A = this chain, B = another copy of it.
């Protein structure tokens, strides 16, 4: 039976309601060229909130504060089923510093997420979140 794994992503929103997107570089194992919220796997022995703060620090050089729940989705990779937990967050930091995993970043309006290339497995979830958030 395929095991389950937990991953976390941060929807870092600025004061104008834009969210931070990172573009996966050629150095990434999969989903190259796709845009995504920063985040990653929860390591063994790590709680999800610490994992999220760590991943955002590693991938974007930003310190975040988690502010709420964005949502959850499930997708399958060849080896594992991934529960992707997305949390809303804010940052006082201004300067994004990327790791080798990404080669571009952007503060994107939620209404424009549908124009960005994204992994097929999470695209419907991301766009549904953006629609709900814009309506509020």
Measured CA separation A3–B65 after assembly (Å): 11
The number of chain A residues with a CB under 8 A from chain B is 22
The answer to whether A92 has its CB under 8 Å from any CB of chain B is: no
> Contact between A68 and B72 (Cβ–Cβ < 8 Å)?
no
> Contact between B44 and A45 (Cβ–Cβ < 8 Å)?
yes
* Number of this chain's copies in the complex: 2
> Contact between B74 and A69 (Cβ–Cβ < 8 Å)?
yes
Bitwise interface map of A from 69 to 91 toward B, beta carbon under 8 Å scored 1, else 0? 10111100000000101010000
The answer to whether A47 has its CB under 8 Å from any CB of chain B is: yes
Measured CA separation A4–B73 after assembly (Å): 19
> Contact between A74 and B68 (Cβ–Cβ < 8 Å)?
yes
| Residue from the list B49, B66, B83 in contact with A48, Cβ < 8 A | B83
> 9 A-B Cβ contacts within 8 A?
A1-B65, A4-B47, A4-B48, A4-B49, A5-B47, A6-B47, A68-B74, A69-B74, A72-B72
